[in-house]
Amino acid sequence: MERRKPKFTHGQDAAKIALAVWLFIAPWMLNYSYARFIVWNEDSVAIVVAGFSIAAILKFTTWEEWVAIIAGFWLFVSPWLFDYSKLLPPTLSLPATANHVAVGLMIIFLSLWELNLWELASSKSR
């Protein structure tokens, strides 16, 4: 059974929720909202990340962070898996690709950071 989550790690969850909100508005801010498949993919990742981050704030378990890491990795590789350069004109594929790579890496980083903090707190309490 896992212990309660240390209070100091909620910042990473809040940051991931903010990134999920950004993923919802980014297609309109970066002007690729007409690319339905890309928006659907992005919104799906945002829902997963926000949902599991809210769940982690309420009651932390490490598997929630692993789900966020997988979602971040999916977002990171999506531009190459789905070849955004064929779905968008060059002036829009670069911002969409850069956004997905950057946000995906941030989600992965925040989740790994949170797991590391959890492990440190768990080892101190033993």
Residue 1, pLDDT score: 47
Where are the chain's structural domains?
8-117
pLDDT in tens, 68-87: 999 999 999 999 999 999 99
- Write down the pLDDT at residue 62: 85
Q: How far apart are CA 37 and CA 98, in angstroms?
A: 17
Which residue from 42, 44, 50, 46 is spatially nearest to 97, judged by alpha carbons? 42
Q: Of 123 and 13, which is predicted with more confidence?
A: 13
pLDDT tens for residues 24-69?
Answer: 999 999 999 999 999 999 999 999 999 999 998 888 788 899 999 9
Burial (Cβ within 10 Å: 0-12, 13-18, ≥19) of residue 47: middle
* Contact predicate 71/103, CB 8 Å: no
Q: Which helix (H) or strand (E) holds 120?
A: helix 90-124
